[in-house]
Structure 1
Amino acid sequence: MRVCIYGAGAIGGFLGVALARAGCEVSLVARGPHLAAIRENGLTLLQDGQRETVRLNASEDPAELGPQDHVIVALKAHSVPAVAEKMTALFHDGTSVVTAVNGVPWWYFHGLGGDLEGTRLESVDPGGVQWDTLGPERAIGCVVYPACEIEEPGVITHQDGDRFTLGEPSGEKTERVQALSEAMRAGGLKAPVRPRIRDEIWVKLWGNLSFNPISALTGATLEQICRDPETRAVARAMMVEGQTVGEALGVKFAIDVDKRIAGAEAVGAHKTSMLQDLERGRAMEIDALVASVQELGRLTGVATPTIDLVLGMVKMRGRTAGCY
């Protein structure tokens, strides 16, 4: 099996090492000092006190890597449209595109059925670039749970978690998604295939929708947001609105909102990805995590007043910081 990790950062690098361990022919699309270090020294994973280094074909130009069976996209959502055309150099007729990306995926209304079948989401796929270039029929959903960091160029530290939930947009258990799941499991990961991948997407999105922008606006950790009655109330209101939107689209939430908040609080003094990006001067995933839910609310006729308010403020925070 030939697998290309497009965006071999912390999560992408972790996946790359695991799939190489499983015997897959893995290649990486990376850039800058990280790419240079991978080419010179290999890609190193630090996990459970062990150090594992693999030598993988890596390039900034996907055209150098050849056709793949699976392309796993591990970029920030807002980075994907700009590289969609380059990604096609990795395709053969049966290549899948696995979206290991936070937020509402661009293919959300492919294979869902109903009145909104085929609807394109401007917030996550401006102009339908990904839909037209990559093709929704190639998409496999992937919900990412592990936490990893780039320790230094070429070196990934695994902090927590080993689950990547997979699912076809149609809910089918196809040969391609089962083969990918088996390869990931052979590499030491948990990779269940779910018939309702959108339900899993929403449970993670639920927290990202609320805690991420609140943390960017306040500088607070998950623990602080959840323990302060006022910020907790804002997060809860956003989550309730988000749940109403999700349920209008047929999503089933396996847990209630207060259990989801309790789970976030239990993570402790963790800075969300949006706050980390803000502090480092990097573009924040505002559209994929928040604006997308606002757009879905408008499509379904569900009012999202708290989401609208927080979205407006975090967009301005991003603009003033040069991160949006």
Structure 2
Amino acid sequence: MKVAVIGAGAVGGLLAALLDRAGHEVVVTARGEHLAAIRADGIVLDGGYGSHVARVAPAETLPAGPFDLVLLATKAQDADTALRANLAGVGTAPLLVVQNGLGGIRVAREVLLDTPLLGGLALFATSFLSPGRITVTAALPLVLGAADGTPRAVLDRVAAVLREALPIEVVESLEGAQWTKLLVNHVNALPAITGLSVQQTVADAALRRVLAASLRETVGIANRLGIRFTGLQGIPGWILPWLGRGPLAIAASLPRLLARRMGDVPNPGSTLQSLRRGQLTEIDFLNGAVVRIAGEHGLPAPINAGIVALVHEVERTGEFFIPAQVAERIRV
């Protein structure tokens, strides 16, 4: 199968490498030093999914298709620009949007009116800390779901192809899975604010309290909107609504569980990785999406708004906060 990956960063680079190892013909887009490194040495993969050097075809934009499948794995804030720059390559192939946060499918539908759309949620954890190199710190599945209007046969066909490369879970409700993944991604913001790993932020009592408060606030908003969470990563969907109704200790159980599953290798989280590369983060599509959706429905979201403000401050200044400063700025 001929597969294109738009955005060969931590997630896209991993998927490209695994698909190459499974025997597919893979074309990727990248920029700058990362593009140069892939051209020279391929995508060098190591960690939880094993080692592999993927000799993929790299370019700044996709060549004209046809492709059998296209993956969009850019940061959420770059999705619209990336899709429009690669329209000739995308063509009519099914598009799998693999991004954190909410809104990726909506953006893709605005650009690609008739393309079959799928959503992918990366439960695996990867680090992309140097050009051309991808390290897997948690070898977990990729979750797939179909966007409204996409035939189930397309979802099943894409799932079958991707299962040749890595573990795949298929969900019936993409929206419910996206909200559950949004909760999982709440662990990314505090590392970006403090410069600490996910495991370190969860281990710190003050930071864990802020994180738990942000989770409880998000679940409370989802409950008000009637969102039905989908179970992911061994977390039953039915239990998540209770995180928005009980004490912080209950909400804190989720990040403790996630940190344990990440193991001992320090995981910086995707938001901190963006900062380390000198890039803007996707915080507006993570905690910021909670603030936006809450505002659209006249609901307050002060904890998530405070977290978003601190991440943007780090983006502007390049200076991290110590845990006590975070606790002072975000009162729980």
Query: Which band: TM-score by shorter chain?
Result: 0.7 to 0.9
Is the contact made by 2:20 and 2:55 (CA closer than 8 Å) also made in structure 1?
no
Q: Report the Cα distance in structure 2 between the residues aligned to 1:265 and 1:54, rounded to whole angstroms.
A: 30
Is the contact made by 1:173 and 1:193 (CA closer than 8 Å) also made in structure 2?
no
Q: Deviations over 1:93-147 (max 9, x none)?
A: 3x22211111113335xxxxxxxxxxxxxxxx5xxxx443233853211001222
Give 1:291's aligned amino acid. Answer: G
Give 2:119's aligned amino acid. Answer: G
User: 2:292 corresponds to which residue?
Assistant: 295
Is the contact made by 2:118 and 2:145 (CA closer than 8 Å) also made in structure 1?
yes
Q: Deviations over 1:266-293 (max 9, x none)?
A: 2455333223333443211111112111
The 1:173/1:258 distance shift into structure 2, 3 A limit, reads: farther
CA RMSD across the alignment = 2.8
Q: Which runs of 5+ in 1 are unaligned?
A: 109-124
Q: Report the Cα distance in structure 2 between the residues aligned to 1:286 and 1:181, rounded to whole angstroms.
A: 29
- Deviation of 1:220 after TM superposition, in Å, equals 3.5
The 1:49/1:72 distance shift into structure 2, 3 A limit, reads: closer
Superposed counterparts of 1:85-100, under 5 Å? 85-93=84-92, 95-100=93-98
Q: Deviations over 1:56-103 (max 9, x none)?
A: 2221121x242223211111111222222112112333x222111111
Is the contact made by 1:28 and 1:58 (CA closer than 8 Å) also made in structure 2?
yes
The 1:133/1:184 distance shift into structure 2, 3 A limit, reads: same
Is the contact made by 1:226 and 1:264 (CA closer than 8 Å) also made in structure 2?
no
Q: Of 83, 86, 100, which aligns to 1:102? A: 100
Is the contact made by 1:213 and 1:310 (CA closer than 8 Å) also made in structure 2?
yes
User: 1:68 corresponds to which residue?
Assistant: 67
Once the two structures are overlaid, the 10-residue window that deviates more, 159-168 or 50-59, is: 50-59
The 1:85/1:322 distance shift into structure 2, 3 A limit, reads: farther
The 1:196/1:136 distance shift into structure 2, 3 A limit, reads: farther
Number of equivalences: 299
User: 2:323 corresponds to which residue?
Assistant: none
The 1:40/1:275 distance shift into structure 2, 3 A limit, reads: closer
User: 2:27 corresponds to which residue?
Assistant: 27
Give 2:39's aligned amino acid. Answer: R
The 1:219/1:40 distance shift into structure 2, 3 A limit, reads: closer
User: 2:59 corresponds to which residue?
Assistant: 59
Q: Report the Cα distance in structure 2 between the residues aligned to 1:39 and 1:279, rounded to whole angstroms.
A: 23
Which SS does the other structure have where 2:104 is aligned? Answer: coil
Is the contact made by 1:144 and 1:164 (CA closer than 8 Å) also made in structure 2?
yes
Which SS does the other structure have where 2:279 is aligned? Answer: coil
The 1:296/1:50 distance shift into structure 2, 3 A limit, reads: closer
Among the aligned pairs, what percent are the same residue? Answer: 27
Q: Deviations over 1:231-265 (max 9, x none)?
A: 22221121111112223142223444343122134
Superposed counterparts of 1:216-295, under 5 Å? 216-247=192-223, 248-252=225-229, 253-256=237-240, 257-266=251-260, 267=262, 269-295=266-292
TM-score by length of 2: 0.79
Residue 144 in structure 1 maps to residue 122 in structure 2 = yes
Give 1:261's aligned amino acid. Answer: P
Q: Report the Cα distance in structure 2 between the residues aligned to 1:236 and 1:208, rounded to whole angstroms.
A: 13
Superposed counterparts of 1:116-195, under 5 Å? 130-135=108-113, 138-150=116-128, 152-170=130-148, 174-187=152-165, 189-195=166-172
Which SS does the other structure have where 1:157 is aligned? Answer: strand
Q: Deviations over 1:133-191 (max 9, x none)?
A: 2338532110012223347543433332141100012397612211111111112x111
The 1:181/1:317 distance shift into structure 2, 3 A limit, reads: same
User: 1:314 corresponds to which residue?
Assistant: 311
Q: Report the Cα distance in structure 1 between the residues aligned to 2:31 and 2:199, rounded to whole angstroms.
A: 34
Is the contact made by 2:5 and 2:27 (CA closer than 8 Å) also made in structure 1?
yes
Which SS does the other structure have where 2:171 is aligned? Answer: coil
Q: Report the Cα distance in structure 2 between the residues aligned to 1:49 and 1:264, rounded to whole angstroms.
A: 19
Q: Report the Cα distance in structure 1 between the residues aligned to 2:211 and 2:220, rounded to whole angstroms.
A: 14
TM-score by length of 1: 0.81
The 1:19/1:278 distance shift into structure 2, 3 A limit, reads: closer
Q: Report the Cα distance in structure 1 between the residues aligned to 2:76 and 2:25, rounded to whole angstroms.
A: 25
The 1:198/1:240 distance shift into structure 2, 3 A limit, reads: same
User: 2:326 corresponds to which residue?
Assistant: none
User: 1:114 corresponds to which residue?
Assistant: none
